[in-house]
Structure 1
Amino acid sequence: MVGFFAGLDELVRTSDVVVDRPRGTAHPRYQDAVYPLDYGHLGDTTGGDGDGIDVFVGAATGAGVTGVR
């Protein structure tokens, strides 16, 4: 499992993070849902839904990837 997360850390480190929804903004369809962290996607990637791989960006320096969905 360590190798898996190391691979994810490398993917995030070498990709551009595009923040579509900054921390504190409301979800476009569910206005009561407010993003607690910056939310976006990794540029030049494609996830299972055909869009970029989703990411939440936190502020902990050096934490790396802590979860995957």
Structure 2
Amino acid sequence: MDKLLNNGYFWQKIDSLILSTNVVISQEKGSRHSKYINMVYPVNYGYLEDTDAIKVFKGSDKRSKVDAVLVVADILKRDLEVKLLWGCTPEEETEILLFINQTDYQKSILVRRGNEIPEWAITD
């Protein structure tokens, strides 16, 4: 089952989304969260324009691919969110995880990009 998590076609679709859509930065690196002022954004944060609010952490790396997705469970919002990590260094990934997981109200997991394409996903 671990091959399902790193389906190359999944990551290809994510890259297509981010490359074909304008990324709007709503919180610059170093800015404070509007409700929780103790939370300081470790990298730029925003969303994909013209989508149903797909959130993006934009790191300092100039690469044009998504490195990972963050799945966040938020008990205050009673919600699950998926956030894209785009151009993030390993250090920035760690900072983002610490940023998101610093409260008792939300916790996250990081799913890193893989390149394998399982046999079941290959079509003619």
Instruction: Please list every run of at least 4 consecutive aligned residues from structure 1 whose deviation after the TM superposition is greater than 2 angstroms.
Output: none
Structure 2 CA distance for aligned equivalents of residues 57 and 2 of structure 1: 21
Task: Name which one, 1 or 2, has greater alpha-carbon Rg.
Answer: 2
Q: Which runs of 5+ in 1 are unaligned?
A: 47-51
Structure 2 CA distance for aligned equivalents of residues 8 and 61 of structure 1: 17
Residues matched between the structures, number = 64
Give the equivalent residue in structure 2 for 1:56: 57
1 or 2, which has the higher strand percentage? 2
CA shift digits 1:20-65 (9 cap, x unpaired): 111100011111110011101000001xxxxx11001112122611
One-letter code aligned to 2:27:
R
One-letter code aligned to 1:14:
S
One-letter code aligned to 1:45:
T
Q: Give me the TM-score of the superposition, normalised by structure 1.
A: 0.85
Aligned alpha-carbon RMSD (Å): 1.1
Q: Percent identity?
A: 34
Q: Which runs of 5+ in 2 are unaligned?
A: 1-6, 70-81, 83-124
Structure 2 CA distance for aligned equivalents of residues 2 and 59 of structure 1: 24
Q: Give me the TM-score of the superposition, normalised by structure 2.
A: 0.49
Cα pair distance change 1:60/1:10, threshold 3 Å: same
Cα pair distance change 1:63/1:13, threshold 3 Å: closer
Whether 1:36 aligns to 2:45 is no
